[in-house]
């Protein structure tokens, strides 16, 4: 008997227009691995360095395709997923080489968390359906210096 994969407490499920295109982007460009698929349902469960995401091809009229409003591109419309990575610069170079649409070029950012700032080197890339994927690598902490 196969062992069930370990699943995170929170896993976003993103509707996509083409499961084939999305799985190729996430695995070949971003380095995710397929945990499992249900090809007959056009569904894939992916993982990258502990981050997990589900991709589900939008099937108009299918009662199993959950959506609260009409689906219009870009599907992401402002939601961004922060995905931590060990080497953001290597991933950024791979994403650039793929020709994927960079929404925010790589940069360092500091975000206030009470009395300290959390440092992050990050970039944002758009997936094939317009979801904003922010890949970040922690670069340390410092005493609060801003109102971010």
- Please compute the mean of the pLDDT values over residues 44-52 and round it to a whole number: 97
> In this model, does residue 148 exceed pLDDT 60?
no
Placement of tokens 């091809």 in the chain: 57
- Domains of the chain, each with CATH number or no CATH: 13-60+76-143 (3.10.180.10)
- pLDDT at 45 exceeding the cut of 80: yes
Confidence of residue 117 (pLDDT cuts 50, 70, 90): very high
Q: Output the pTM of the full model.
A: 0.87
The full 3-state SS of the chain, as one line of letters, equals CCCCCCCCCCCCEEEECCHHHHHHHHHHHCCCEEEEEEHHHCEEEEEECCEEEEEEECCCCCCCCCCCCCCCCCCCCCCEEEEECCCHHHHHHHHHHHCCCEEEEEEEEEEEECCEEEEEEEEEEECCCCCEEEEEEEEEEEECCCCC
Reference 64, options 81, 84, 80, 40; nearest CA is: 40
Please tell me the predicted confidence (pLDDT) of residue 1.
58
Specify the higher pLDDT residue, 148 or 12.
12
Q: Minimal CA–CA distance to 18: which of 74, 60, 71, 57?
A: 57
20, 26 contact by CB (below 8 A): no
């Amino acid at each position: 008997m196969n062992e069930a994969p370990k699943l995170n407490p929170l896993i976003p499920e993103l509707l996509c227009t083409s499961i084939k295109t999305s799985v190729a982007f996430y695995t070949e460009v971003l380095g995710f691995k397929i945990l499992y698929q249900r090809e007959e349902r056009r569904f894939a469960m992916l993982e990258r360095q502990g981050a997990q995401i589900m991709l589900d091809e939008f099937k108009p009229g299918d009662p199993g395709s959950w959506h609260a409003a009409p689906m219009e591109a870009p599907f992401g419309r402002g939601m961004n997923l922060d995905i931590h990575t060990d080497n953001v610069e290597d991933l950024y170079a791979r994403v650039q080489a793929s020709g994927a649409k960079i929404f925010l070029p790589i940069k360092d950012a500091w975000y206030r968390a009470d009395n300290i700032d959390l440092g992050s080197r990050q970039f944002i890339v758009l997936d094939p359906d317009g979801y904003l994927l922010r890949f970040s690598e922690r670069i340390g902490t410092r005493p609060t210096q801003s109102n971010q």
